[in-house]
Chain A
Amino acid sequence: MPLIEARDVYGGYGSMNILNGVNMALEAHEVGVIVGPNGAGKSTLLKAIFGLLHVNQGDILLNGAPIQNLPTNQLVERGMGFVPQEKNVFPSLTVQENLEMGAFLKPQNVKRMLGQVYEFFPPLQEKRHQPAGELSGGQRQMVAMGRALMAEPSLLLLDEPTAGLSPLYMNEIFDRVKHINAAGVGILMVEQNAKQALAIADKGFVLAAGQNRFTDTGAALLADPDVAKSFLGG
């Protein structure tokens, strides 16, 4: 049974559909990457999975149980973590307070998980008493991912985690994603840097106009000349 599955999902804002029958399935401990041109519905799919926009038709299943249109705090309880692309930290809270908020539903875990998150992101430990709003973009992304990890999710959703970051931080973030996945967390991410993202992906989903265009393993998609020509810039 897949960890997360989208079956023929239609959805969007109001009655206007942005997703027109998307299918997606990811096994536990896998990295899934959603790529595609602007406006293809990549982030929309992620938001639909996390209950942030209305699913008009189709099913979204977490471990086989339907979760479409559930309130987000219930999804967090069921083991999903979400890192939005923008505004993904609490700027006036310190780094540590940001992380603590991630474990809001599991306060007994705070100590143990803080240790684990600081292991994933060592730079955060020395900045733990600094307000998150004062950090650089890359460090903020680390805080945001750390916050989501604090709830010990089985599935982490990342919306363009490397957007606007320098190449150095970009590599760092991809590297961290691999580490987090190696620790047993399933990852589904939307990425603009398709080549780099597909290189670490077990599964890749190429979307266009709210529908699947190509679905395969990351390596196979990278090797596919059609995908390369139309979506990876040659």
Chain B
Amino acid sequence: MNELVFFINNVVIAGSVTGAIYAIGAIGVTLVFSIMRFAHFAHADIMTFGAFMVLVLTTAFPSVGMSIGVPTALVMLPVAMVITACLAVGIDKAFYKPLRAHGVKPIVMVIASLGVTLILQGMIRLFSGTGGQGLYVDDRKAIFRMLPFENVRVPIVITEPQIYLFAITLVAVIALHLFLSRSRLGKAMRAMSDNPELAQASGINTNTIVAVTWVIAGGLAAIAGTLLSLDVTFKPDLSFFLLLPIFAAAIVGGVGHPFGAVAGGFVVAFAETLAVFNWGVFLRPFRDSLPTWLELPSNLAFVGTEYKIVVPFFILVAILIWRPTGIFKGKVI
């Protein structure tokens, strides 16, 4: 039973945490693609910016959360979401809109977004320093240990920010679903994703839809970056390293499908955790009955933890070769 708990801790919980973060990141990428038809590489650094805003606000007002019993970082999250949404709209106005007005090819937009990535990362580094900083300034992370079975020595471990992460992810995904399926603007967004010319011919102001898309993408990026930094610590290049898995998630799910992005996020995350999981632990109980010439290696993972980043890369290549439209028949990039 200890092995099962080990599996739950290292695969089920770890995979879900990573999956939730990939999912929220990938939704932003997929929304921007479906409205503006380009791969927005600066998305990860907008995530970092959101987390950095939370860090700044939390450092400035460290005791706000104490009074209501929530980590201050989470109290500051909505404010950071608004600031990040404004940043996203501002970046669009400054960098992408002039390019769009000239009718450039999508690849030019992609290169521009790489430039934005460098600017953002440099700016954040300038103010935050290069080291890691905890977002939990007011108190320590609560850690919950559960002993689900009798005669088990290792407990299932889940931390407070992880619980918040699952709750916030659920709320964000449901809110997005309601927005896209019920609200007038949400439907107009889907319409524009389907057929921009016809959306315009219907009287939909496409500039408004573009702005709304950036607001949502920015807000979600702030959530993803903050939750990630809460789970570990804030670093200026933390989200940047998630760029590849997030794009893999968006493509696996089918670009342009917000719920595909959620599914893709969990697929990529679980593929990662399963690939680095030490399957040897399941053989350990049978160690005594194994023939003596067969020695159990200490680590039986598909790839070493340090090569984790290879997994989304492999998934990305595989999906582009065998199913370029992703699980939910998205657009082909």
A interface list, Cβ under 8 A from B? 50, 52, 72-73, 76-77, 82, 84, 87-93, 97-98, 100-102, 104-105, 107, 147-148, 151
Contact = CB atoms under 8 A, between A and B. Distances in A.
Contact of B203 (A52, A76, A98): A76
Contacts of A107: 184
Given A100-B187, A104-B188, A107-B184, A92 B202 contact: no
Interface in B184-242: 184, 187-188, 190-191, 193-195, 197-205
Contact of B204 (A87, A89, A101): A101
B200 A101 contact: no
B190 A105 contact: no
A63 to B, nearest CB: 18
Contacts of A105: 203
Given A101-B187, A107-B184, A73 B200 contact: yes
A100 to B, nearest CB: 6
Given A72-B201, A73-B200, 9 more contacts: A72-B200, A82-B201, A84-B197, A84-B201, A87-B198, A89-B198, A90-B195, A97-B187, A104-B204
Interface in B152-206: 184, 187-188, 190-191, 193-195, 197-205
A52 B197 CA distance: 10
User: What are the 9 tightest A-B residue pairs by CB atom distance, in nearest-first order?
Assistant: A76-B203, A90-B194, A105-B203, A90-B191, A73-B203, A101-B191, A101-B202, A104-B204, A82-B201
Contact of A93 (B184, B191, B197): B191
For B184, B187, B190, which residue has the most chain A Cβ atoms within 10 angstroms?
Answer: B187
A104 B198 contact: no
Contacts of A98: 191
Contacts of B202: 76, 101-102, 104, 147-148, 151
B189 to A, nearest CB: 11
Contact of A90 (B198, B200, B203, B205): B198
A73 B204 contact: yes
Given A97-B187, A101-B188, A104-B184, A91 B194 contact: yes
A87 B190 contact: no
A50 B198 contact: no
B72 to A, nearest CB: 40
A128 to B, nearest CB: 14
